[in-house]
Amino acid sequence: MYKLLKLLPILMIFIIAALPAQAQLSCESPPAPFDRPETLENWQMVWNLMDVCRHQEGVFGEIISGGVGRDGIPPIDNPAFDDFATADLWLEAASPVIAVDVEGIARAYPLAILTRHEIANDTISELPIAVTFCPLCNSAIVFDRRVDDSTLRFGVSGLLRNSDLIMWDDVTQTLWQQLTGEGIVGTHTDRLLDIVPSQLVGYGAFKAQYPHGEVLSTGGRFYGSNPYVGYDSSARPFLFRGEADPRLSATARVLGVNLGDVQMAYPFTALSEQMVINDSIADVPVVAIWQPGAFSALDASNINASRDVGMAGLFERTVDGRILSFRAEEGVILDEATGSSWNVFGTATAGELAGTQLRALDAFPHFWFAWAAFYPDTLLYGED
């Protein structure tokens, strides 16, 4: 017993060292709902590094549980990739994928996999990226994982805001809003992650654009079933507590862009009818291009048997100082000046301008309710 008592101080040092460090709060009085010590203590048993005193105003009244714990939906941290011959065994031409091209290295991330993981932490040509997909909002966005001097690993917090995925990082445990890329609670509150250009397209379109590309591997697991059957025709989005903007149905697909402090949404219904929309946003001449060939990931139980909702991109339409206008003719995208053919990636595929690439803008597909919830002042194409 005497020897044990002599060892007790040493044991206590090891026990204390093993306990998770608590964040040093940046305020003397934590905000509601953490103004009660027991509430803050329970929160910091999970979020031990998070400074809850740094937060966007009113955000704690909007965050709700999505029903799973931190990383209860596991992100992919060490992704492997397959060639087309392997991917062809389970993907169809219209299977939806997130296409990313960094310095000539092109990768496709199938939504069939990301509906189950929501985040893939990857590195392409030394650029650390987070490929993210929120099924409840149909939002597919890729971010640069570097913040200041840190390379972050992003995970699924298990929390939602306006039904949108809230991510967390492993360095500061800041909570990040997936649809906007901004920190909402913690050290990096109000910080915006840099967006990495990407596009949600069909697998066949990816293969045609990037013949030497690679595809996120299934790792021998079965993917392809949709856990959100019929969700994209739902009148009431899951776990959405706000009032949906009545200008469109809640789960109508829109191509949303935030450009020069102007937010604009192009409905997929208008895009599919016109295929090309020549427009100007914040004095920037732009063109929205839509083509068929991408299944919904949130329709039928088998994604490869779902309906074709198409794919879209938004681009600046100025080339070498000349503003181009585009039209659709028998399903082919042409520019009025030269008659060159263009695809959904904004690439001229034939004609005088063959090989020319329009500058892509950070525009992504979303469900209308989510886009409008985060950008309530958004303009809606076709609205008087």
76-122: pLDDT as tens digits: 999 999 999 999 999 999 999 999 999 999 999 999 999 999 999 99
- Among residues 182, 216, 250, the one where a domain terminates is 216
Q: Encode pLDDT of 154-175 as tens digits.
A: 999 999 999 999 999 999 999 9
Query: Would residue 17 count as lying in a domain?
Result: no
251 and 195 within one domain: no
Do 210 and 248 share a domain, yes or no? no
- Please state the rounded mean pLDDT for residues 337-356: 98
Q: Band of the pLDDT at 23, cuts 50, 70, 90?
A: confident
Residue 11 — very low, low, confident or very high, per pLDDT cuts 50/70/90?
Answer: very low
- Please give the full DSSP string across 162-207, using - where no structure is assigned: TTEEEEEETTT--EEETTTTEEEESTTBTPBPPBPP-EEEEHHHHH
Q: Are 85 and 171 in a shared domain?
A: yes
* pLDDT digit string, tens, across residues 229-246: 999 998 889 999 989 999
Please indicate, yes or no, whether residues 88 and 209 belong to a single structural domain of this protein.
yes
Does residue 263 form part of some domain? Answer: yes
Same domain (yes/no): 102, 207: yes
Indicate whether 7 pLDDT > 80: no
Is 65 inside a domain boundary?
A: no
Would you say residue 353 has pLDDT above 60?
yes
**Residue 6: band (very low, low, confident or very high) from pLDDT cuts 50, 70, 90:** very low
Same domain, 186 and 147: yes
Specify if 198 maps to a domain. Answer: yes
Does this model's pTM top 0.75? My answer is: yes
Q: Report pLDDT digits (tens) over 190-227.
A: 999 999 999 999 999 999 999 999 999 999 999 999 99
Residue ranges making up the domain that contains 313: 236-380
pLDDT at residue number 290: 98
Per-residue pLDDT, 28:
86
Segment 246-275 mean pLDDT:
97
198/91 same-domain check:
yes
Last residue of a domain, one of 156, 187, 216: 216
The reply to whether 245 and 341 lie within a common domain is: yes
For the residues of 336-354, what is the DSSP string, one character each?
TTT--EE-TTSBEEESTTT
**Residue 260 is assigned to a structural domain of this protein:** yes
Q: What is the mean pLDDT of residues 354-377?
A: 98
Q: Who wins on pLDDT, 33 or 297?
A: 297
Q: Where are the alpha helices (DSSP H) in the chain?
A: 2-18, 37-46, 84-87, 111-117, 203-209, 268-274, 368-374
pLDDT of residue 8: 38
Asked, for residue 303, whether it belongs to a domain, the answer is: yes
Say if CB 109 and CB 97 are below 8 A apart. yes
Residue 208 backbone phi and psi in degrees, to 5:
-70, -35
Q: For residues 337-362, give the mean pLDDT.
A: 98
Tell me, what amino acid is at 110?
A: P
Grade residue 66 by pLDDT with cuts at 50, 70 and 90: very high
The answer on 174 and 116 residing in a single domain is yes
* Structure confidence at residue 33 as a pLDDT band (50, 70, 90): confident
Indicate if 374 and 290 belong to the same structural domain: yes
- Give 20's pLDDT tier (boundaries 50, 70, 90): low
For residues 208 and 262, membership in a common domain is answered with no
Please state the separation of Cα 197 from the chain's center in Å.
11
Which of these three, 216, 246, 279, is where a domain ends?
216
Could you tell me if residue 60 is inside a domain? no
Tell me the CATH number at 323.
2.102.10
Q: Residue 308 domain-assigned? A: yes
pLDDT higher for 141 or 9?
A: 141
pLDDT higher than 80, residue 19:
no
Cα-Cα-Cα-Cα dihedral sign, residues 175, 179, 181, 183: negative
Return all residues near 176 (Cβ < 8 A) that are at least 6 apart.
154, 166, 167, 168, 169, 182, 183, 184, 188, 193
Q: Express each pLDDT in 126-144 by its tens digit.
A: 999 999 999 999 999 999 9
**Model confidence over 369-379: pLDDT tens digits?**
999 999 999 99
Which token pair is 364? 């992504």
Query: How many domains does the chain divide into?
Result: 2
Q: How far apart are CA 209 and CA 128, in angstroms?
A: 23
Q: Which residues contact 133 (CB under 8 A, 6 or more apart)?
A: 98, 109, 111, 114, 115, 118, 119, 139, 140
Say if residue 211 is in the same domain as residue 240. no
User: What average pLDDT does the segment 65-78 reach?
Assistant: 96
